Amino acid sequence: MPDAATEFNESGREDLIRELGRALGLERFNLSAWLLLWFSDVQVLRDLVTTVTSDKTARDDLHGYLSPGSKNFDEVIKAWLVERKDISRTGRASPATDFDSLCRKRDQKKSVVTKGRDVLRAAGLFPSVLGERENTYANETFWKHLGLFWSTEKIEAWQKAAQEQANTLENYITMASGVHRFWEMALFALKPIAKTENSLTLQFFWMSSEIRAGDNDTSISVLAEPSFPCSSDSTPKGSLLFCCDTEERICSGRAITLYTENSDTHPLPSWDLMEMQWMFQRIAALRGTSVTEDRE
């Protein structure tokens, strides 16, 4: 079965995370922060270790961010889950635009996952509210926190896409209502594989159960090693999806290709927004949607 978390196998990552814990004098990290470290850009992680080793101010600041009692990165994941859920349900980011209708037309009036034709809706890839320039949390906190884990170039590309594309058709794909609920619960994620002017190929992955890190599940040992035991063909509780065209069970690794007849009037989903979805859907799945309970 294809690997849903190749980042975990990147050379040097495990040693760098342990070295970071030693430099900060921490035996445990906040769970959300720990997950972000395991999905981060390895070179950025390497630079972070170098900085905190030589700079006391940076070391003290990062100690506060990564310590078990910190809520900073819990808020990042809450923003991803809750705000995206709200935007998919209410369409509040752009009430004058009928994304359901536009998506159905572009996606041949089918769910992109199951090819079902009933009870369809537009599912948002990225929480549009986090792309709003006047959003104080997004501008002062969300993107700043992500900058600890990915390069400036990557963050700028993601932020540009959020600001310019999150309130457009490029932020939406068509899903059947039941599939959309699985999506909201981070029970599956879509990996972008290839894109042309008129097609976008994705890879479907079921997500594993959330990590159980201890009594309160808010922190985890610096020495812990993550795993991503994705089910090949179902949710952790055994729910299944089938392709309506072929009646085949939908399994991890399945390729899904979206097409558009007119990339100007009905553009395909944004690569950058899809990339963020792939990154954060996996992190949210491992962190667990319970992180949102005090926000709902």
User: Where along the chain do its domains lie?
Assistant: 6-287
The predicted structure's pLDDT at residue 1: 57
Compute CA distances 25 → 6, 66, 104, 222, whole Å.
Answer: 28, 11, 53, 10
Torsion angles phi and psi, residue 54, rounded to 5 = -110, -10
pLDDT in the model for residue 91: 45
Q: What is the pLDDT of residue 212?
A: 58
Residue from 175, 145, 156 nearest 80 by CA? 145
Alpha-carbon span 142 to 31, nearest angstrom: 17
10 Å CB burial of residue 51 (0-12, 13-18, 19+) is middle
Q: Is 209 exposed, middle or buried (0-12, 13-18, 19+ CB in 10 A)?
A: middle
User: In DSSP terms, which residues pair with 249 in a beta bridge?
Assistant: 242
The CA-atom distances, in angstroms, between 155 and each of 9, 148, 152 are 23, 10, 5
Task: Report the C-alpha gap between 34 and 38 in whole angstroms.
Answer: 6
Question: Helix 271-287 to helix 31-39 angle, to the nearest 10 degrees?
Answer: 140
Per-residue pLDDT of the chain (296 residues; tens, 9 = 90+): 568 888 999 999 999 999 999 999 999 999 999 999 999 999 999 999 999 999 999 999 999 999 998 888 998 888 887 766 545 554 444 444 688 899 999 999 999 999 999 999 999 999 888 888 777 777 778 888 999 999 999 999 999 999 999 999 999 999 999 999 999 888 999 999 999 999 999 999 998 766 654 545 788 999 998 877 666 888 888 889 999 999 999 999 999 999 999 999 999 999 999 999 999 999 988 887 555 454 34
Q: How far apart are CA 290 and CA 91, in angstroms?
A: 24
Q: Alpha helix (H) ranges present in 169-250?
A: 177-184
Mention every residue, 6+ apart, whose C-beta is less than 8 A from residue 54. none
Instruction: Decide: 202 and 177 in contact? Cβ < 8 Å.
Output: no
